[in-house]
Homo-oligomer: A and B are copies of this chain.
């Protein structure tokens, strides 16, 4: 009897999701869609965004603080919804945490390794993620016969953050970054930064129909569902009405976060709470 109750309470526990800012909302959105019964606590580190130009040491320190914060909600699992934090901090977080940690890199790498036909995979991401070679490492483990071409695209995040989702400037900058991947004749492209799915149509248009775009946000939600199911941790029932199914926390500028969130997610996000993450 006690075991069942404990398991029920574990199933009801929320999922912790974090990102450097708003990009991880593309992962949140996929989790909402794929496992709609789950409660989620989302944290965006808007006081220290972006992570993509910062060092492993710094990003790992930030990720540790965020995990400490999320654990105050007794989360049953943590989703690192940020490629840079996945690339730099996943090993540390896994070693230090006794609940499952899901990242966005492994699921995207796995899908790309399965999808490619000509063995030429492109990855676009932040400087940090590309520099870490993390996608190459994971994909090579799954399939030795592929070649991975990484391209850092540092200006795409600020362009997305400014809302220039359909704009000639974003188009021009994307063309510059993607040009060499087109020349190399890749057939699969990983959108290795959580902001990029928001300009997926621009990227798709530039790459052409011959190139499959892999969205790690989608693959991550699928992996999360499978992991929770395997551990019998999926929430069987929809949460009670008015029960705060989704809670949002940021380290700065809660109102701006809520505006952005509502522009990309069809779910009335009423508020986000600002906290001082340096205290964790």
Q: A residues within 8 Å of B by Cβ?
A: 46-49, 53-55, 57-58, 61, 154-155, 158-159, 161-162, 168-169, 172-173, 251-253, 256, 274, 276, 278
A241–B169 alpha-carbon span in the complex (Å): 49
Stoichiometry, copies per complex: 2
A56–B219 alpha-carbon span in the complex (Å): 38
| B-chain residues with CB within 8 Å of residue A49 when the two chains form the complex | 53
| B-chain residues with CB within 8 Å of residue A47 when the two chains form the complex | 48, 54-55, 58
Q: Which 3 A-B pairs have the closest CB atoms?
A: A158-B158, A58-B252, A47-B58
Nearest Cβ distance between residue A240 and chain B, in whole angstroms? 34
Please name the residue on chain B nearest to A251 by beta carbon: B58
Could you say which of B55, B169, B172, B252 contacts A252, with CB atoms under 8 Å apart? B55
Please name the residue on chain B nearest to A172 by beta carbon: B169
B169 touches A162 (CB 8 A): no
In the complex, 10 of the A-B residue pairs with CB atoms within 8 angstroms, ordered by the A residue number, are: A47-B48, A47-B54, A47-B55, A48-B48, A55-B253, A55-B274, A57-B252, A154-B161, A155-B162, A169-B172
| B-chain residues with CB within 8 Å of residue A168 when the two chains form the complex | 172
| B-chain residues with CB within 8 Å of residue A173 when the two chains form the complex | 169
Nearest Cβ distance between residue A66 and chain B, in whole angstroms? 14
A276–B278 alpha-carbon span in the complex (Å): 12
| B-chain residues with CB within 8 Å of residue A57 when the two chains form the complex | 252
Please name the residue on chain B nearest to A164 by beta carbon: B155
Nearest Cβ distance between residue A53 and chain B, in whole angstroms? 7
| B-chain residues with CB within 8 Å of residue A276 when the two chains form the complex | 61
Nearest Cβ distance between residue A7 and chain B, in whole angstroms? 39
| B-chain residues with CB within 8 Å of residue A46 when the two chains form the complex | 54
Besides the known contacts A48-B48, A49-B53, A169-B169, 6 further A-B residue pairs in the complex with CB atoms under 8 A apart? A47-B58, A54-B252, A54-B253, A55-B274, A158-B158, A278-B278
